[in-house]
Amino acid sequence: MDLLRSVRDTMDETEFHTPLPSGYRVGSTRYLAVFGTVMSGLGKGIFSSSLAKLLKDKGLRVSPIKLEGYLNIDSGTLNPFRHGEVFVLDDGMETDMDLGTYERMLDQDLSRANFATSGQIYRAILDKERAGGYLGRDVQMIPHVTGEVKYRLRELAVKTQADVVFIEVGGTVGDIENAFYIEALRELSYEEGPGRVVSAALTYVLEPPALGEQKSKAAQLGIARLMEYGIHPDIIACRAENEVTKKVRQKISVYTNVPFGRVFSMHDLPSIYLLPERMRQAGLDSEVVQLLGLGGKVNTAVEMKAAGEWNRFAGKIGRATKKVSIGITGKYVALRDSYASIIKAIEHAGVANDAEVDLEWIETTDITEDNVAEKLAPVDGIIVPGGFGVRGTEGKIACIAHARKNKLPYLGICLGFQMAVIEYARNVCNLPDAGSTEITPDCATPVISILPEQKKIEGLGGNMRLGGQDVQITPGTLAADLFGGAQRIRQRFRHRYEVDPRYIETLQKAGLIFSGRHPEHPIMQILELPRDVHPYFVAAQFHPELTSRPLHPQPMFVGLVKAALERNEK
């Protein structure tokens, strides 16, 4: 475009500020931006990832990015009660849980380039300002902050060679913190040219019980607010409990100038994995391809194969012939989003086992040795998930002891791995004072502790061990069987505390098997009990739920559901 060329070719003062990453050509990449209206929590990530999946299935290269309005640099310090789980990427970036939705739907690993916060944007701008990067100009929201947002989007396009970049704007239209993102996307559409940027708005259709019919006025006003920012949506997804009626969709179509065929009913479904096929049947993916002018890149053979594989998976949802109950024993059970990836991993494992899995949410804060049997009586297996802090840990240890003694299938994750070590040390190795220095800093027998020498070896200092790491698997173990005989796997970690090497020999002599280890250092990463002692007792220092995908369920969850089924059938 002439206006961009003029910016590069002249040093005269200009109102244009459009820094471009090396190798980027304006108009070469397509973008699809997703906005939320009326209220938060509508499922923008589910909508965006489902649509991105359909385009990927057509043979197109897609890359998503989540734009968060909060000032945190990442999601690592956010309270699960307020914001849901922290999803850790392979490169160690701690992100919003929506990144997990994208990874699962697209079956591809993402990186820190796929996640941006206001804090990241502002920090980059201030660093440039201090280094004289703006040539003495006063740094403003427009054009500099919006320019940095556009740069991030284009940089992602270059790094991933994407045909389409999917942009999810966090929050709701009208929030102060995301206004500059919306403005940046308006500018992006202007600069990239017609047919290069498509906008989708999620809205909410009310259905008050007292009225007995769906009402679209709130949806209309929410979309009108988006239009005030200069964004005219090409697609509207209507969230509702029940399917949105033709009449309501017609009203929204007329009010917004969006063709009726692009006003989509995104009503509640038994599983989010049923949404892509609903979109396909509604022709939403074809509409996007047409809007973006990408018809020439569609590979029909690839699409047919991908659709067949997905439908074989999705077709099993809700049609299981067997039923099993798994208990989630944690301290964040009041908010299900705290364990979003675990819930999805269990769903994947349930489909793989042709089983419907009922989840029982068990708050460990109130569990003791006296009531644990009663609390766990309804379940066929348990998971002790990750977490930080002291609260609920003794309850988790009581659950683990009960599972070990009563041969109840058990999967421990991160803190659940550490608590299993403590329980075994106390009750089998006769080390009654065994504990963790996270919980009791002056613990007399710290079987779990921070090990400075190991942190130094790995070059991690005092920081958390984050992201993808290799795990060496011991042949002939349960872990080896679960992972198909693999000798080395890659999993994602998020922890500071580890098994103290001084106690490894004592634990092993007492019968505990460490079947997964760091390839070079004495860092224990998977534990299990012999199969002639317990049918399924396994725990991981890493977070196996983060790598589970619908078509590639995580083996440790598949094994847990299988063991729980066998127990249930006895």
The catalytic position among 238, 399, 414, 429 is 414
The CA-atom distances, in angstroms, between 555 and each of 85, 258, 546 are: 21, 45, 12
Examine the residue annotation and report whether 545 is marked as an active-site residue of this protein. yes
User: What is the DSSP code (8-state) at residue 476?
Assistant: T
Length of the chain: 570
- The structure tokens 């396994």 sit at 538
- Alpha helices, DSSP H, located in 428-492: 452-458, 478-482
- DSSP of 324-392, one letter per residue? EEEEEEES-TTSGGGGHHHHHHHHHHHHHTTEEEEEEEEEGGG--TTTHHHHHTT-SEEEE----SSTT
Examine the residue annotation and report whether 414 is marked as an active-site residue of this protein. yes
The CA-atom distances, in angstroms, between 64 and each of 167, 523, 530 are: 6, 34, 43
Tokens of 10: 């002249």
Tell me how far apart the terminal alpha carbons of the chain are, to the nearest angstrom. 71
Examine the residue annotation and report whether 443 is marked as an active-site residue of this protein. no
Tokens of 278: 């609903």
Is residue 458 within 8 Å of residue 498, measured between CB atoms?
Answer: no
The catalytic position among 68, 103, 423, 545 is 545
The catalytic position among 17, 144, 348, 543 is 543
Cβ neighbourhood burial of 22 (10 Å; 0-12, 13-18, 19+): exposed
Torsion of the alpha carbons at 152, 154, 156 and 157, rounded to the nearest 10: 170
Annotated catalytic residues are 414, 543, 545
